[in-house]
Structure 1
Amino acid sequence: MKLLYLGYMVHPKNIRRVKQILPFVAFWLIFSLVYSLIEYGIIGDLGHYPSTGNLYNFKGNLLFGVSVCLIVGLLQGCIEVLWLRKRFIHQPLWVKVVLKTIFYLLFISFFLILFSTLNSLINFTEGDINFAFEELEKFAGSFAFWSIVIYISVAIGMAILFSEMSQHLGDGVLYNFLFGKYHRPIHETRIFMFLDMKGSTSIAENIGHKRYFNLLKEYYADMTNAILETSGDIYQYVGDEIVVSWTKRDGLYKNNCIRCFEKIHYAIQQKKEIYGNHFGTVPEFKAGYHIGEVTTGEIGIIKKDIIYTGDILNTAARIQSQCNSYNAQALISENLLDELQKKEPIDCKQIGSLTLRGKKESIQLFSVVFKN
């Protein structure tokens, strides 16, 4: 319970950043161990490198290599996630991988030379700096050095490609595929929000489809922080509609699922002048919420995906479609209202009911009243 509480003490965006940085550390640690074992397999009981004559110590090199790679992996992860990724956000994937690999290779080569010198001073040359530089010069001019550079390039490229693919597929999706979390379908309780732009058809006709597409890009980009800050997962983009999902625990914590709508509304209002100047309109939207059990699993042969199935999705979509009828910003089901935290109550009023085809009992609908 203490760990769970601590997890909620940390901001969701920071948790996400840590999760994005850790794979770089893991990649470098794995590559370091593999390289050390291959090196040991080649050199064996020899006490020196055959190509250079430099002294070789497996245990010392292993410990030193792992330590260095942990530091380098952490540095690369921090630089990538906190700074460099934003600089290449509009570039094609191959440009990102190539240019970032060159950047990191130059950066890491500097550290490789620095740490090699320190390693010689500490383990082999007894502090004789002149001898250490001689050893470094022999090492840098050998094929062994350039084989390490090539190996590092592969490690960098793999780490960047993994990071970009993970970002493209969505947080956690690549890990779920990799570790087979949903290889066999599982049942879980989730919250869904179907959020739709109002009057999207007329907007597209008025401003043209190209400008409308740019409007959608801006619109979805401005939602991102709100979704991340409330621990939501983007399930689907369907034209002008976005489907956001939460685990029951994350969605109910501080009523994250409802606060997400509020934060999105605030983000759009903060940029209403920009929308007005660029597109001649400020997007408005409506949302439908529901909670229930879904079956989650991998599907597809040519193209794999992780999907949710269950009545909850159809119901949430139908609830959202009732927003226009009741002139409501957001409608939630009675099922979800009963689950929301009472410590931070949501201002709601009962507004009607929804009867689904094939269902005997109707679903009571409540309109969420947001404070301006």
Structure 2
Amino acid sequence: MLSPKTRRNITRIIPFGMIWFVFSLLYSVLEKSLLGNLDHYPSSGVKYDFAGNILAIPAGGLIMGLLTGILEISYFSKKFITDSFTRKILFKSVVYLVIFIVFLIVLSFVNALFAHDEQSFFKLSSPIWTFFTSYSVIGILLYISSIVVITQFYTEFSDSIGTGTLNNFFLGKYHHPLEEERIFMFVDMKSSTTIAENLGHVKYFQMLKEYFVDLSGAVIDHAGAIYQYAGDEMIISWKLKDGRNNNNSIECFFAMKSALEKQTEKYNSKFGFLPGFKAGAHYGKVTAGEIGSLKKEIIFTGDVLNTSARIQGLCNQLGADLLISEDFVKVLHLPASYAITSVGETQLKGRSRPMELFAVSQRIS
């Protein structure tokens, strides 16, 4: 069974392949409309076979797109995470163009190999040299450059609003409001006001950027989605089945704590302290849908969000790092490695009846 992180990466890579496939298919059709009934390429003299090209070119585009996606997700997304949009676009576009030129040379050799009976180096290289020194290659490279730029904009847009949110926009999943059962966890930095005063606003913001990046890996690993950032607060959401599966929602909290602790040296050297956080979690029905005209968003509405926020707000008062509602406890099946301790009933604002809350901690083995 694939891990949540692997499934997410596959979901992110596939669109790159599809973008390249569609544009390669479009190129094959445009090429046919330009060459008409010719049976060879005018610039190189290499045989032109539309039936073969309509299969080979999109297939090559799909491979190139998947390769681009793999590089993007496994390397570039981490390498340039703190760089500006323009710098990322320029550098990555140059790298992808170099890869494509190499790919195009190999493809041209293969095409020439099947087009000539005499397989000498001169016979194979002559039409390829003619092609690469003609104006035809300029048009192809411009076309490929547009695909590269489009994929880069897709990457940045996807990273900005979230892969799942972007896919939902394309599929129109939330064009009409839907009811869902979801878990929400409000994660809030401890003593953030004091920290901001001590660090100053600019350095505090730099710390927040690294803090959120370090927490995000655990969210991905445990099938969560970051719904919103609000100052120093991060709101994480799961569909109920995903959050319950392998206790992802609870495991996520402690995985985030572990991820921060591993970066103790970095935070101490850069900022003079290791940030901590507390969280409150609840589950229930929400209505999800698209809103907005000048700026569209997919939002969730329902009592579960307000309740989660208010539970988190009681962490300091009740001396707990993670508080969850009694409703949430009832749907969880936590192993003995976790201690679930009732902290009593509390009258939460906006609710007609008191709610029992529970502190969750890991048992020391």
Which of the five TM-score ranges fits, normalised by the shorter chain?
A: over 0.9
**Structure 2 unpaired stretches of 5+:** none
Bigger CA drift: 253-262 or 137-146?
A: 137-146
Could you tell me which of 161, 164, 175 is aligned with 1:183? 175
Mapped contact 2:46–2:112 kept (Cα < 8 A): no
Could you tell me which of 265, 286, 291 is aligned with 1:273? 265
Q: Are 2:117 and 1:126 aligned?
A: yes
TM-score, normalising length from structure 1? 0.92
* Correspondence list, 1:230-249, <5 A: 230-249=222-241
User: How much does 1:358 deviate?
Assistant: 4.8
The whole-number CA distance in structure 2 between the counterparts of 1:273 and 1:95 is 29
The whole-number CA distance in structure 2 between the counterparts of 1:145 and 1:203 is 57
The whole-number CA distance in structure 1 between the counterparts of 2:298 and 2:226 is 12
Mapped contact 1:255–1:344 kept (Cα < 8 A): no
Could you tell me which of 301, 311, 315 is aligned with 2:293? 301
The whole-number CA distance in structure 2 between the counterparts of 1:33 and 1:213 is 45
Q: Are 2:24 and 1:32 aligned?
A: yes
Query: CA deviation digits over 1:168-204, x for unaligned, max 9?
Result: 2112121111221111111101100011111111122
Q: Match of 1:5?
A: none
Could you tell me which of 296, 299, 308 is aligned with 1:316? 308
Bigger CA drift: 144-153 or 358-367?
A: 358-367
Mapped contact 1:253–1:341 kept (Cα < 8 A): no
User: How much does 1:127 deviate?
Assistant: 4.7
The whole-number CA distance in structure 1 between the counterparts of 2:163 and 2:338 is 29
User: How much does 1:342 deviate?
Assistant: 4.9
Q: Which amino acid counterpart does residue 70 of structure 1 have in structure 2?
A: L
* Correspondence list, 1:1-372, <5 A: 9-122=1-114, 124-129=115-120, 130-342=122-334, 346-372=338-364
**Structure 1 unpaired stretches of 5+:** 1-8
Secondary structure at 1:369's aligned position in 2? strand
Secondary structure at 2:330's aligned position in 1? helix
Mapped contact 1:189–1:292 kept (Cα < 8 A): yes
Q: Taking structure 1 as reference, are residues 54 and 275 closer, same or farther at Cα in structure 2, changes over 3 Å only? A: closer
The whole-number CA distance in structure 1 between the counterparts of 2:262 and 2:350 is 43
Query: CA deviation digits over 1:256-314, x for unaligned, max 9?
Result: 10111111111222222332332222212111000001111111111111111000000
Q: Taking structure 1 as reference, are residues 358 and 218 closer, same or farther at Cα in structure 2, changes over 3 Å only? A: closer
The whole-number CA distance in structure 2 between the counterparts of 1:337 and 1:166 is 34
Q: Which amino acid counterpart does residue 218 of structure 1 have in structure 2?
A: E
% same residue: 42
The whole-number CA distance in structure 2 between the counterparts of 1:334 and 1:357 is 16
TM-score, normalising length from structure 2? 0.94
The whole-number CA distance in structure 2 between the counterparts of 1:265 and 1:41 is 59
Paired residues in the alignment total 363
The whole-number CA distance in structure 1 between the counterparts of 2:40 and 2:333 is 66
Q: CA RMSD in A?
A: 1.8
The whole-number CA distance in structure 2 between the counterparts of 1:313 and 1:327 is 22
Mapped contact 1:254–1:344 kept (Cα < 8 A): no
